[in-house]
Structure 1
Amino acid sequence: MKKLINAPETVLAESLDGFALAHANLVELGEERKFVRRKQLTPGKVALISGGGSGHEPLHAGFVGRGMLDAACPGQIFTSPTPDQIVAAMQSVDSGAGSVLIVKNYEGDVMNFDMAAEMAEGNVRTVIVDDDVAVDRSTYSTGRRGVAGTLIVEKLVGAAAEQGRDIERLAALGKAVNSRTRSMGVALTSCTVPAAGTPTFVLGENEMELGVGIHGEPGRRRVKLDRADAIAEDLVAPIVEDLAPGNGRECILLINGFGGTPLSELYLMVNAAMTRLRARGVRVARFLTGNYVTSLEMAGCSITLTELNDDWLSLWDAPVHTPALHWGQA
C-alpha cells in the first residue's frame, strides 16, 4: 500500500486539520473534530446537516458553506458518523428554525441519523437519498443506495434554505429532487482502505464492475472492459429507463469521478453520455464534471441525471461558495 499518510489510525484527524487550515475562510472544525461547520451562519435559516463515512471527499465536508450545507459529520473511512457527532453538529448550527438532515441510504447512516434526530431538541426533518439504479429496491433491506445524487439534493435544498424557505418546504423539496434523480457507476479498479491495507476487491486486468457502489460494493455484474461508448450506454440506458424524464424536460448531467480517473477521461464520458442522451430525446441544461463523490483512489465514474423544473433550475444556478463547489456571488 502506497499512500501519503503517517499512520492509518491518524488519517482522518490529520486530513480534517489540513482541510480546516486550507479553507479557514469558509469552515471551522467542531470540538474533537466531530463535525465541520460553516464559519458564518445565516441567522434564522433552517440548518442543513449531512455526513457519512470519510473517503468520499469532497462529499460531504467540501460542500459546507453558503448555498449548501451548514455542517457535515465525517465518520471514519467508509464508516458512519456516530449519533453524538450528528447531535453536536445540529446544536452548533441551530438558529431556531429547525434542521434538515440529508442522509445517504446506507443502513448505518440511516440508523445513526435517526437516533440523532430522536436525541436532538427542536424541529428535525430527514431526507433520504437513494438514487442508485444499479440495484433493485428489493435487493437490500434498506433499498437503493445513496450515491452521487446526494450532491444534487444538497445543492438544490441548500439554495432554497438560503432563500429562507421553511423546514417543511425544504424537506419536501429534498424528497422531490431525490425522486427525480438517478445514478449508476462503473469501477475500473478497486480502492484500498488505509486500515485494511489491501484492495477492497480484485478486478482482473481486463475486467470492470458495472453498477459498483461508492464503498466498493458489487453492482449489476462484472464484465469485460469495454470502450467508453459502450460503458456510457450501459450506464445511461438504465438511468433513462428508470427516470423516464418527461418529453422536452431539461436535466442536470453530473459525470462524477471516483477519485482515480483523470478529467480528460471524465470529459470524454460527458461526450459519450450526451450522444446517448440526445438519441433518447433527453435535454441537458446544466453540466457538472469532476471528482465530487469519490471512493478513495478508485478508478471509474458514475453518471447522474436529475430532471428539472424552472424552480429547480434557478436553485441550481443560485450562488454557492463552498470549498469544493462555488459559482456566482455568494
Structure 2
Amino acid sequence: MKKLINHPEDVVKEMVEGFIAAYPKRLKQVPDTSVIVRADAPVQGKVGIVSGGGSGHEPAHGGFVGPGMLDGAVAGEVFTSPTPDQVYEAIKAVDGGRGVLLVIKNYTGDVMNFEMAAELAEADGIQVAKVVVNDDVAVENSTYTVGKRGIAGTIFVHKIAGAMAETGASLEEVTAVANKAIENLCSMGMALSPSTVPAAGKPGFTIGENEMEIGTGIHGEPGIERTEIKSADEVTDTLLSKVLNHLQLAPNSKVALMINGLGATPLMELYIVNRRVAKILHEKEIEVHETFIGEYMTSIEMAGCSITILRLDDQLTELLDAKADTVAFKK
C-alpha cells in the first residue's frame, strides 16, 4: 500500500483538520467531532441541511458545505457510516429554529445511524426530516444496502434542497423538493481499478489488468458485469442506456448531466465519456441544460466514473441555477 498518510487510524481526523485549516473563513469544525459546518452556522430562520457518510468520497461531503448547499457534513471513518452521536452533533450545530433536513445515501448503516440521530434531536425539541437518495440503477440489494444505492446524484439533491432552504422555505417544502429531485434522478458507474482503505492496507477487491466492472458502487461493491476492457464509447453506451431506461425521458425533455470521476480518472477521459453522452442525448432530442464534469463523489483512488442525469422542470431548473458558494461546487 502506498498512501501519503501518517497513521491509518488518524486519516479522517487529520483530513478534517487539514480541510478546516484550508478554509477557516468558510468552515468550522464542531469541537471533538468530525463534523464540518458553515462558518456562520447556525443560520437563524433557515432550514438546516446535513449530509455525510463514510470518508473516502471527497470532496463529498464537506466540500459541499456552504451557502446554497449544505449547512453541515459528518465524516465517518473510511467507507464507514458516521455514528449517531456525530450526526446528532451536526444537527444541533446547524439548527436555526426552522428544523433540519438529513440527506442520507441509501446504505444500511447510514440510514440506521442518521435515523437514530434524528430521534435524539427530536427528543431535544428539534424538528428533523429526512430523505434517502437511491439514484444508482445498476443493482438492488448489494453489499452495503437494501434497495438501490445512493451515489453521485446525491450532489444534485444537496444543491436543490440547499437552494430551496435559502429562499426561507419551510422544512416540509425543502423536504418535498428534495424528494422531487430524488424521483427524477438516476446514476450508474463503472470501475477500472479498486481502491484501498488505509486501515485494511490492501485493495477492497481484485480486478484483472484487462478487466473492468460495470455497475460498481462507490465502495467497490460488485456491479452487473465483469468484462474485458471496452472502449469509452461502448462503456458509455452501457451506462447511459440503463439510466435512460429508468428515466424514460420524452423528446424535448430538459436535464442536468454529471460525469463524475471516482478518484483516479483523468479529466481527459471524463470529457471523452461526455462527448458520447452529449451525442446520444442530442440524437434523442434531450436538452442538456447544464453539464458538470469532475470529481464530486469519489472512491479513494478508484479509477472509473459514473453518469448521472437529473430530469428538470421549471422549479428544479431555477433551484439548480441558484447561487451556491462551497469549496467544491460554485454557481
Give TM-score, length-normalised by structure 2.
Answer: 0.96
2:153 pairs with 1:152: no
Residue aligning to 1:51? 52
8 Å contact kept, 2:107–2:146: yes
2:228 pairs with 1:227: no
Q: CA deviation at 1:93?
A: 1.1
Q: CA deviation at 1:137?
A: 6.4
8 Å contact kept, 1:182–1:305: yes
Q: CA deviation at 1:136?
A: 3.6
Q: CA deviation at 1:281?
A: 2.8
8 Å contact kept, 2:108–2:144: no
Residue aligning to 1:40? 40
Determine the C-alpha separation between the residues in 1 that align with 2:15 and 2:270.
26
- State the secondary structure of the residue aligned to 1:326: coil
Determine the C-alpha separation between the residues in 2 that align with 1:318 and 1:178.
18
8 Å contact kept, 1:78–1:215: yes
Residue aligning to 1:31? 31
Q: Which of 132, 136, 139 is equivalent to 2:136?
A: 132
Q: CA deviation at 1:278?
A: 2.1
Range that drifts further, 157-166 or 271-280:
271-280
- State the secondary structure of the residue aligned to 1:161: helix
Residue aligning to 1:312? 316
**Distance change in 2, residues 1:290/1:140 (3 Å):** closer
Determine the C-alpha separation between the residues in 2 that align with 1:17 and 1:313.
35
Deviation per CA, 1:118-139, whole angstroms, max 9, x where unpaired? 1113211100000000014699
Determine the C-alpha separation between the residues in 1 that align with 2:85 and 2:54.
15
Query: Which residues in structure 2 correspond to 1:3-42 (within 5 Å)?
Result: 3-41=3-41, 42=43
Percent identity over the alignment is 47
The letter of the residue matching 2:10 is: T
Q: CA deviation at 1:168?
A: 0.4
2:273 pairs with 1:273: no
Q: Which runs of 5+ in 2 are unaligned?
A: none
The letter of the residue matching 2:83 is: T
Residue aligning to 1:65? 66
Determine the C-alpha separation between the residues in 1 that align with 2:275 and 2:200.
37
8 Å contact kept, 2:106–2:145: no
Deviation per CA, 1:28-64, whole angstroms, max 9, x where unpaired? 1111133000001332000000110000000111000
Determine the C-alpha separation between the residues in 1 that align with 2:140 and 2:247.
14
Output the aligned Cα RMSD: 1.3
Deviation per CA, 1:148-178, whole angstroms, max 9, x where unpaired? 0100000011011011111001111111100
Deviation per CA, 1:239-280, whole angstroms, max 9, x where unpaired? 001011233120000000000001111111111111222233
8 Å contact kept, 1:100–1:167: yes
Q: CA deviation at 1:195?
A: 0.4
Determine the C-alpha separation between the residues in 1 that align with 2:191 and 2:280.
20
Query: Which residues in structure 2 correspond to 1:88-127 (within 5 Å)?
Result: 88-120=89-121, 121=124, 122-127=126-131
Q: Which runs of 5+ in 1 are unaligned?
A: none
Determine the C-alpha separation between the residues in 1 that align with 2:255 and 2:66.
25
- State the secondary structure of the residue aligned to 2:249: coil
Determine the C-alpha separation between the residues in 2 that align with 1:86 and 1:274.
39
Deviation per CA, 1:209-254, whole angstroms, max 9, x where unpaired? 0000000000111011000000000000000010112331200000
The letter of the residue matching 1:234 is: T
Residue aligning to 2:328? 324
2:266 pairs with 1:253: no
Range that drifts further, 130-139 or 193-202:
130-139
Determine the C-alpha separation between the residues in 2 that align with 1:145 and 1:194.
23
Deviation per CA, 1:158-202, whole angstroms, max 9, x where unpaired? 011011111001111111100100000010000000001111111
What is the total number of aligned residue pairs between the two structures? 327
Determine the C-alpha separation between the residues in 2 that align with 1:223 and 1:189.
13
8 Å contact kept, 2:135–2:153: yes
Give TM-score, length-normalised by structure 1.
Answer: 0.97
- State the secondary structure of the residue aligned to 2:32: helix
Determine the C-alpha separation between the residues in 2 that align with 1:119 and 1:261.
40
Determine the C-alpha separation between the residues in 1 that align with 2:44 and 2:144.
40
Determine the C-alpha separation between the residues in 2 that align with 1:299 and 1:247.
33
8 Å contact kept, 2:263–2:303: yes
Deviation per CA, 1:93-133, whole angstroms, max 9, x where unpaired? 11110010000000000000011111113211100000000
Determine the C-alpha separation between the residues in 2 that align with 1:85 and 1:205.
40
**Distance change in 2, residues 1:206/1:141 (3 Å):** closer
